[in-house]
Structure 1
Amino acid sequence: MSFPNQFPNEYSHRRVAETSAKPCDICFKPSSSVLITPDNKDFFYVCPSHLKDTGFCTPKIDLAAVEARKKRAMEREVERVKREYEERKRRKEEEKKKKGKEKEKDEKKDEKDEKKEDEKKDKAGEGKDETKSPAAEEKEEEEEEEPRIFELKSTFYQQRVNRKRQVEIAKRNRERLQDPNFFPSVPKGQP
């Protein structure tokens, strides 16, 4: 009995809640990572460390997604540079206004005011960190960098296909056993 390949060798990596973690099919440790086919016909739990193993699967790189990710990163960088430029420009204008006012005041008062203003600027600069920290940005990029689509090596893929076949055969056998016409009937006539 021959079975056609029922699902493609293309698995998407998904994460489930930690409370829904089940044993990894390879090492039987609890895992919240799942590989699933696009048509949802086959899925199995796997540890994230196995996804990095080239003997188990290979990532399929989506060039369009890579280009979109690069474009988003470039846009974020341009936006960050623009904000920094606007902030510097605003600070310079404030300094020019203050310097004009300071010329009118005595030099002794100017020195005291400058020291106080420098301290205020330092304090204000520390509190105005609106952008994300570099570590947080790197973490987001690392999460995005993980490949989402994988292709299993032939031996592992064949194991998945065989397991699916065995499940279908067992299901078919159960249905046959429940069918009353499956077993022969007792002869009714004289021998």
Structure 2
Amino acid sequence: MATPFPNIYTHRKVAETASKACDVCYKPSTSVMITPDKKDFFYICPVHLKDRNFATPKIDEEAVKAKREKELAEEKEKLMKEYEERQKKKKEKEKEKEKEKDKDGKDKSKDKDEEKKKDEDNDKDKAKADDENDTPTEEEPRVFELKQVFYQQRIQKKRQAEAAKRDRERASQPGYFPSVPSDLPSR
């Protein structure tokens, strides 16, 4: 017998007002697991999704690769800008040194240049610290595959619900229950 729906569930969030009991621990939850064809869904706590005995994340290798390439391109662009800025500063420093040689080396200008240099070094250190703090947070996986035990439970619940629906439909049809006998009982 074919399975009624695939064992691939997508994690989605709903509004706080639409929260319902988690299928595992019965606490209110806003996280929903739903199949791609929308035939099955259930509420689940995000903590259970991290449990390897409940579900395993399905990682889209192409999406991960594309994301990694995008990050590398951004990093490369950032490094190129930093390099260009350093080259500009280096040229400016060379020009300043030439001007100093022409001025016959005044002490005040040297002190000012040293202060500027220290300020630039401090700015670079701050920029590097900010870059390190900007590390992107890992996104949680969105697609999961339930472990076989939980998947079988989902299938069983779905089949029981369908059987109950069929039974209700049959009971509402005339002729489902036997009619009352119209003849008198024989002695």
TM class by shorter chain equals 0.7 to 0.9
Deviations 1:79-135 (A, max 9, x none): 2221221221222122223323333334223123214423553565577x4996434
Residues 94/175 of structure 1: CA separation in 2 closer, same or farther (3 Å cut): farther
Give the alignment partner of residue 156 of structure 2, picking from 145, 162, 171.
162
- How many angstroms does 1:39 deviate by? 0.9
- How many angstroms does 1:20 deviate by? 4.2
Deviations 1:125-167 (A, max 9, x none): 577x49964344241xx21xx3332211111001111111222
* CA distance in structure 1 between the aligned counterparts of 2:150 and 2:10, rounded to whole angstroms: 15
| Letter in structure 2 aligned against 1:108 | D
Give the alignment partner of residue 150 of structure 1, picking from 144, 156, 167.
144
Hey, what does 2:113 align to over in structure 1? Answer: 114
Structure 2 gap segments, 5+ residues each: none
Residues 114/173 of structure 1: CA separation in 2 closer, same or farther (3 Å cut): same
The size of the alignment, in residue pairs, is 183
* CA distance in structure 2 between the aligned counterparts of 1:23 and 1:97, rounded to whole angstroms: 71
Confirm or deny that 1:67 pairs with 2:61: no
Deviations 1:45-79 (A, max 9, x none): 22233223222122223322232232223222222
| Letter in structure 2 aligned against 1:58 | T
| Letter in structure 2 aligned against 1:14 | R
- Look at both structures and tell me which one has the larger radius of gyration over its CA atoms: 2
TM superposition score normalised by structure 1: 0.75
* CA distance in structure 1 between the aligned counterparts of 2:29 and 2:12, rounded to whole angstroms: 11
| Letter in structure 1 aligned against 2:25 | C
Secondary structure at the aligned position of 1:121 is classed as helix
* CA distance in structure 1 between the aligned counterparts of 2:24 and 2:83, rounded to whole angstroms: 52
| Letter in structure 2 aligned against 1:161 | I
| Letter in structure 1 aligned against 2:37 | D
Secondary structure at the aligned position of 1:151 is classed as strand
- How many angstroms does 1:4 deviate by? 4.0
After TM superposition, the structure 1 stretch with the greater mean CA deviation from structure 2, 113-122 or 57-66, is 113-122
Hey, what does 1:33 align to over in structure 2? Answer: 31
* CA distance in structure 2 between the aligned counterparts of 1:16 and 1:130, rounded to whole angstroms: 39
* CA distance in structure 1 between the aligned counterparts of 2:146 and 2:23, rounded to whole angstroms: 13
* CA distance in structure 1 between the aligned counterparts of 2:143 and 2:99, rounded to whole angstroms: 63
TM superposition score normalised by structure 2: 0.77
Residues 184/133 of structure 1: CA separation in 2 closer, same or farther (3 Å cut): farther
Percentage of identical aligned residues: 49
- How many angstroms does 1:37 deviate by? 0.8
Secondary structure at the aligned position of 1:170 is classed as helix
